[in-house]
Structure 1
């Protein structure tokens, strides 16, 4: 059971997946917010019932699962609708992430939350003991997006601009891994933080 929780975040194409993969290779449990977001709206989950009550049965597919495309269309052009959806899903996601981390094996666990800064940072995630930022230079971030997603330079820049600025993420971070493309550096940084977190967890009250 993990009594010590790390919130891992970072901008788009910063390399969060690569960092979490390396922590997992060291035996650390990682709870993924994106996976959890899909899980909390599965049939039978309270969040799905609340979504249907708010947006109507038209957001369901014939098999009773959420029609994500339809829901996106509804909230994309309507800020009030988007906020209503977030008010339903975000608390459910946070609660599920915390529960998964608390029951995870090992001395500490990681909650991977890409939009942790945008979601309210520490105020929204008071159960996170430390925040780890995976950071990368904006130029490299843009290049990775263009290569990974096959998008234009302009679209890549808009995707980066749509997220919280780098300075805002830095402001809430306790620890930073600079993922500038050097695998050896990443390996060393993750190993050092793993040792640090295990030591902190050993002194942390359950």
Structure 2
């Protein structure tokens, strides 16, 4: 993980606005406490995209205790040991990372969702979890009247800045800043996540 090299001034303004409404500043969302607003760290090397796959599993794919399967469409997580068309077992741990939409879909297909929803679709209930797949919302857009967004990131000046200095708007991950907050008084951890993209 790396810090953003050239944060956009709109991202700075977003953080200032978050602090103005009482959210704390968070220097590192991966350090244990997520609440607050701050810059997201990026998977980059020298200002270029360096995917999580390139950074972490690819260098250790030859380990005997690791099996990576790509291009597989997972349709269900098996909790009770019954068979399925293709089964992958893990003796220690499984990491399911299918994104914001497919992860909740996979949980639903596996029987983890609000029980009434599962029953309506003839899916056996493994765990009644009302929060699965709920409240996912995307996009509140505002037009920026000043020429400071990432709209002209591919200009000749920015291309030169990137290739010569490994800095500038072309090092942006787009969703540069964000935050985590609670919305209910008795919540023991953040319930909502924000992303800010100066695009």
| TM-score in same-fold range (> 0.5) | no
Give the number of the structure with larger relative contact order, counting CA–CA contacts within 8 Å between residues 6 or more apart: 1
Q: Please report the TM-score for the alignment, with normalisation by the length of structure 1.
A: 0.23
Q: Which has the larger radius of gyration?
A: 2
| Structure whose residues are more often helix by fraction | 1
